Structure formats: C-alpha cells, structure tokens
Structure 1
C-alpha cells in the first residue's frame, strides 16, 4: 500500500498522480487534502505515520514546491524523504538512500512528469551493499 497526500496547493497534481498509478496497478491510500486548506507539516506527519506504523510501505507528498513537505517529513523518525524533480535523483534516492517518501512540487513540475517520477520511485529497488552502511549511519544520526 502506498500513501499519498498533499496540501491545498497539490490537489490537482495528487489526483493526476493517483489516477496514473492506479491505472498502473498500484494500491493507494489517499490521505487528502481534497481542496480544503491544509498545513503541509500536518499532512507530512499524517502520511509518515502511515509508514512508520507499517500500514503503508512508501509515501508520496505534494505541496507547492515539495520543499516544505521534505523538511517536515524528515523530522519524523524512520522517514527518509527526498525532493524528487528529475529522473536521476528519483531513481538514485531509492537505489542508494532507500528513501521511503518522495516529495514533489505542484508549482515546479507538470502532472505527466510527476506521475512518471512517482512510478520510478515506486519501482526502483534499494541496492543495499555499501549503501546499507550509509543508511545505517543516517539512522544512527536520528537516534542521537
């Protein structure tokens, strides 16, 4: 199960990404918002809770730039959120960082690119190996 959520700036993009991913066979849990005003830290906490509780495997967060969601999500223990705006960064945040939340900006990306990046994020596997040691170091930092 994949969690998806946004603030009010990201509703249209969230709906486009959700439709695309559903057509590709992904099972999504839409956490909103659906147009009502929403503070992005509240949505980030809600979505990340779905991941840290084990209800969802990964998450997609959308706000105006994706930056606020990234900052807020990375405050949650166990979350590795990455701002994704291009193919290479999206692919390698999964391969090398084992990111479990992708963040995107509705005012910086079009819905077509956002949808394709979401698919890349969700289908790219973590390489492990030497990268696991680095992810473990990140986890150690958050546990200090």
Structure 2
C-alpha cells in the first residue's frame, strides 16, 4: 500500500516509529511531516496528506499532532477524505469498519508511541464492512 504521513512538532518520534513499522510491512511511505520539535503549523502537513488521499495518490493517510483535533479538522475539509481521530485501537478498527476512514489522526500528547503504532497497524489491517454503513458514508459530504 501507499501511505502518506504528516505531523507537526508533537509527532516526530511517533512518525519515526510508525514509518519503521510501515516499511517493515512493505508499505511505500510519503513523508510530509517535520522531523523537528520546533514549532510548526499542523495545517501545512494536514493539507499535504489530505490532498494525496483525496486525489487517490495514496491508499491511506496518517496524521499526528498534539491533540489530533486540529489536524483532523484540516484533513476533513477535503471531499473524499474521512479522517478519524483515534485514541485506541478499538476506535481505530471501528473507524474503518463503520466509517471507511481513510486517514487516521493520532493525538501525540495523549497516547504513547506504542499505542500509536498499534492504532495505525489496526487501522490498516481492518476492512470496511459496507452494507448499512455505506448508506451513512454517502450522506457525509456536502
């Protein structure tokens, strides 16, 4: 799979661990995130990943910021993007099963690196259930 990843200053260590896991599983990763803890603006990275997902350049996106909220709000401005803020692997699985999420947003200041890696792994390993959930997905976009 092709996966785009982006992060602000709250996520360089998270990104590094996630990218290592993704590459170990044979995924192709495009890195839009910062590698520094110097303050940057999360929308710059959220837009880059969301554009790749919306245009079909990648299969999924991973976004990391302090709370996960701002970067999720940014990504969800794009048609065809369903960015899910996930706090544990159960929510990550449900975001795929029920919402067909195509970007996972990780709250770097509220989860451990180990949890983040587990959430991303679960997210990518979980399929959309379709059925009644598809009708709801079809009603999301304006």
Q: Normalized against structure 2, the TM-score is what?
A: 0.93
Residue number among 108, 111, 114 corresponding to 1:112 in the alignment? 114
User: Could you tell me which residue of structure 2 aligns to residue 51 of structure 1?
Assistant: 53
Q: Runs of 5+ in structure 2 lacking a partner?
A: none
Q: Runs of 5+ in structure 1 lacking a partner?
A: none
Question: SS at 2:84's partner residue?
Answer: strand
User: Could you tell me which residue of structure 2 aligns to residue 2 of structure 1?
Assistant: 3
User: Could you tell me which residue of structure 2 aligns to residue 27 of structure 1?
Assistant: 28
Deviation at 1:38, TM superposition (A): 2.4
Q: Distance in 1 between matches of 2:57 and 2:40?
A: 22
Deviation at 1:96, TM superposition (A): 0.5
Deviation at 1:24, TM superposition (A): 2.3
Deviation string, structure 1 residues 80-132 (Cα, Å, up to 9, x no partner): 11111112211011001000110001111111110011011011111111100
Q: In proportion to residue count, which structure has more helix?
A: 1
Q: Distance in 1 between matches of 2:68 and 2:61?
A: 13
Bigger mean CA offset, 52-61 vs 37-46: 37-46
Q: Normalized against structure 1, the TM-score is what?
A: 0.92
User: Could you tell me which residue of structure 1 aligns to residue 19 of structure 2?
Assistant: 18
Q: Which runs of 4+ in 1 moved over 6 A?
A: none
User: Could you tell me which residue of structure 2 aligns to residue 122 of structure 1?
Assistant: 124
Question: SS at 1:103's partner residue?
Answer: strand
Q: Is structure 2 residue 99 aligned with structure 1 residue 91? A: no
Q: Distance in 1 between matches of 2:27 and 2:117?
A: 12
* 8 Å CA contact 1:21, 1:115 repeated in 2: no
